[in-house]
Amino acid sequence: MSDLDNEELIKIRRDLHQIPELALHEVQTHDYLLSLMKLWSTDWLEIKSVPSVPTAILVRLQGTDPHKTIGYRTDIDALPVTEQTGLAFSSTIPGQMHACGHDIHMTVALGILQHFAEHQPKDNLIFFFQPAEEAEYGGYRVYEAGAFTGKWRPDEFFAIHDNPSLPAGQIATRLGTLFAGTTEIHLTFTGESGHAAYPQRAKDALVAAAAFVMQVQTIVSRNVDPIRGGVVTIGSFHAGQVMNVIAGEAKLEGTIRAFLQSDILMMQQRVREIADGVAQTYGVKADLNLIQGGYMPVENAIEQTTDLIEFMTADPTIDFAESEPAMTGEDFGFLTQKFPGTMVWLGVNDPEHSLHSDHLNPEERAIKPGVEAWIKFLEHRMQ
């Protein structure tokens, strides 16, 4: 068998695009991936499951003359977004879409895996098909389950993320931090509802929540070093039922983002202080839940990343560019705290739409050069 050709890769991508599943529920995706891996089964390929995270798949390829074990990770989950692309191969699952391109990530990983299932690698390779990147921090869960121990422990880890702002097939990364660390904010203010005409007899949770939304804007403007920057976004605000009843409850959700873990911790503390202060000022109760999970800053390691940049820059068949850091989050950041490694962008040329857009339509011609660049680089790492 030869390497998967363009048409075969596109078919896999379209199959996966039609079955987008949410974090920790990637059952059809898991079965589809496994069916391909079984087709490519060889003496040197071993598959492992993780009982506590049943949609995760680890694949190990035994090297011919191993000096190390190289890890390659792809995420497999999708988003609660209703697809609006109108593509013939659109999502078949209502309200769910591969709007972050994990279908592209999986296809690239499968292309690389199929190559090394056909051509036994020199070093050992571990492919990690990771559930729950968008939420629920699957990488952290699988690590904590002890999956990366013994012969399953990678010495280094690599991963990609698609980028609609870059030309199709371009690979881009940088030394140091590529992606921000994040923290989810889940906050409920509870007051007392009442008649709109008698505010003095109620405790207005909506007004408290509105004050909170405005006050947290000062975290980035007054507490974060402006040279480093950060983000506090409240993306969801639900309160009240009708115009003439004071809301007794307000629910807010948002995200904190920064490039340094110390900034994340400081911003978490400021969110706690503001929630407590607002609760006291408005006589309501604040229930605050801050979840970082595995979304640590994605720190590209010096040795692996320098080698990758030098290798890809020198190869005229690879379109490589250095990139700026981004405020997107990724729980690959947790794995970069545990194993040295590198995450790169893969350009998919859809500049009109951002990641998470219901119109996101990555160019499939990015897949084949992505696969080829990684096969070359991994073979180079094995020399």
Which residues in this chain contact ligand L5K734KM in the complex, by CB under 6 A? 100, 134-135, 161, 182-184, 255, 295, 328-330, 355
* Closer CB to ligand L5K734KM, 98 or 161, in the complex: 161
Contact between residue 105 and residue 128 where contact means Cβ atoms under 8 Å apart: no
350 carries an active-site annotation: no
Contact between residue 73 and residue 334 where contact means Cβ atoms under 8 Å apart: no
Give the residue at shortest CB distance from ligand L5K734KM.
182
* Closer CB to ligand L5K734KM, 100 or 360, in the complex: 100
Q: How far is the CB of 115 from ligand L5K734KM (least distance, A)?
A: 26
Q: What residues contact residue 19 under an 8 Å CB cut-off, 6+ apart?
A: 28, 29, 32, 91, 92, 93
* Closer CB to ligand L5K734KM, 161 or 203, in the complex: 161
Residue identified by tokens 């991936």 is 33
Q: How far is the CB of 250 from ligand L5K734KM (least distance, A)?
A: 20
* Closer CB to ligand L5K734KM, 220 or 382, in the complex: 220
Q: How far is the CB of 249 from ligand L5K734KM (least distance, A)?
A: 23
Q: How far is the CB of 100 from ligand L5K734KM (least distance, A)?
A: 5
Q: Which residues of 97-126 are buried (b: 16+ CB within 10 A; e: fewer)?
A: bbbbbbbbbbbbbbbbbbbbbeebbbbbbb
Q: Which of 134, 136, 364, 372 is catalytic?
A: 134
State the angle between helix axes of 102-118 and 6-17 in degrees (0 to 180), rounded to the nearest 10: 140
Q: Which of 21, 75, 136, 364 is catalytic?
A: 75
H and E: helices and strands count for the chain: 9, 16
> What's the full length of the chain, in residues?
383
75 carries an active-site annotation: yes
Which residues participate in catalysis according to the annotation?
A: 75, 134
